[in-house]
Amino acid sequence: MNIIVTGGAGFIGSNFVFYEREKHPEDRIVCVDKLTYAGNLSTLEPVMQDPMFRFVKADICDRAAMEQLFEEEKPDMVVNFAAESHVDRSIENPEIFLETNIIGTAVLMDTCRKYGIKRYHQVSTDEVYGDLPMDRPDLFFTEETPLHTSSPYSSSKASADLLVNAYHRTYGLPVSISRCSNNYGPYQFPEKLIPLMIANALADKPLPVYGEGLNIRDWLYVEDHCKAIDIIIREGKVGEVYNIGGHNEMRNIDIVKLILDYLGKPESLITHVTDRKGHDQRYAIDPAKIHSELGWLPETMFKDGIVKTIEWYLNNKSWWEEIISGEYQNYYQEMYGNR
C-alpha cells in the first residue's frame, strides 16, 4: 500500500512512521509535515534514505499542494496526525488551531474524495469528551460519551471529528476515527509534561506544576498507540470511532515526583504555578470496543514505560537540547536549502 502520513515529523506521527516501516516494510510511506515549531525533520533521519519513504514539506491547508501530492502518489490511505495540539497555545491563539485542525482536515478529505481512497483515518483525542469528576473513578469515556469540550484545542478536534463523520454520511468517504489518551515516549516535544520535567530536572531548573498537580490523566505509551492505529486502518470498520486508552491513570504531581526520584533530584525543584484556565480534572478511557472488535490492548504499564522514556531522554540529549536551543529549526534548511 501507499500511505500518506500527515504530521509525520511530530511526536506520535514519527513514531507511527517508524512502526509502519518496521511492521510493513512492503508499504510505501509518504510523510507530509509543515515543520512548524513542533515538527522536527531530524527525528526522521533514520528513514530519510529509505527508498520506501518520502518526505514532503507542505501544509495540509494548501489545497493545491495536497492535490499535487495525491496526483503524484495515488495513495491508498491517509492517516492524519497533523494538528496543533498544545492546550496552552490554543488559549493564547485559537485561530491557528481552527485553521489546521478543521480546515486542514476538510482539505485532506476533499482531496481524498477527488482521487479516491480506501481509508481516511483521523487521529483525535480524548479531550473532545471534556473531563470526568475526581470522585467517580468508576466513570470512563466510551465512544458513546457526548462531546463536551473545554479548550479551543479540544473544540477544534471535536469539530474535525464531526466533519469526518459528516463526509462519511454525505459523500460515502471511507473513514475511521481514533481518540487516544495522553501519549508519552521517545521524540515528544519538550513543552509537554513528561519531557519538560525531565529536561528541567536534569538542568536543576524549577519544575512548573499547575495548581496542586492533582489533575489525573490516562497515559498511553506511544508505541501501543501506533499499534492500535495500524490495526484500525487495516481491520477496523469504516465509519467507526475507536477509543485508545492506556489503563494507566496518574496524577500529574505523582509523575513529577517519580521523575525526580528516578533522576535523584530533590522535590524542592517543584514549583506550583497558577492553574490553567478551564483545566480538565480527569481523563480516563474505556478501550473495551477496540479490544473486543480488534483484539488490541495496551501492553506497556506506566511504571515500565516511564523508565523507558526517561532513559531515552537521557540517551538522546542532543535531540531535545537542539530543540530547547532552537537549533533544530535549521535542520530543514541544512538538508534541503540548496536543493
251 to 34, 200, 216, 222, 255: CA distances (angstroms): 33, 19, 4, 19, 7
191 tagged catalytic:
no
Q: 314: closest CA among 208, 198, 207?
A: 198
DSSP annotation of 329: G
Of these residues, 59, 84, 129, 153, which one is catalytic?
153
Of these residues, 33, 84, 126, 224, which one is catalytic?
126
What is the per-residue pLDDT for 332?
47
Residue 234: which residues within 8 A CB-CB, separation 6 or more? Answer: none
Question: For residue range 111-153, what is the model confidence (pLDDT) as tens digits?
Answer: 999 999 999 999 999 999 988 888 888 888 999 999 999 888 8
> CA 212 to CA 309: how far, in whole Å?
24
Strands, E, within 12-98: which ranges?
Answer: 28-33, 53-57, 77-80
What is the per-residue pLDDT for 333?
60
Q: 228: closest CA among 126, 302, 299?
A: 299
108 to 29, 62, 112, 151, 336: CA distances (angstroms): 17, 9, 6, 24, 25
Q: Decide: 246 and 219 in contact? Cβ < 8 Å.
A: yes
**Residues across the chain:** 339
3-state secondary structure of 335: helix
DSSP annotation of 103: I
115 tagged catalytic:
no
Question: For residue range 184-238, what is the model confidence (pLDDT) as tens digits?
Answer: 999 998 878 999 999 999 999 999 898 888 888 899 999 999 999 999 999 999 9
| pTM higher than the cut 0.75 | yes
Q: Decide: 207 and 261 in contact? Cβ < 8 Å.
A: no
129 tagged catalytic:
no
Residues of the chain with pLDDT under 50: 332, 336, 338-339
What cell does 78 get? 491517509
Of these residues, 59, 84, 127, 161, which one is catalytic?
127
> CA 71 to CA 69: how far, in whole Å?
5
170, burial (CB in 10 Å: exposed 0-12, middle 13-18, buried 19+)? exposed
Q: Decide: 256 and 228 in contact? Cβ < 8 Å.
A: no
Q: 77: closest CA among 116, 107, 119?
A: 119
Q: 126: closest CA among 183, 41, 44, 66?
A: 183
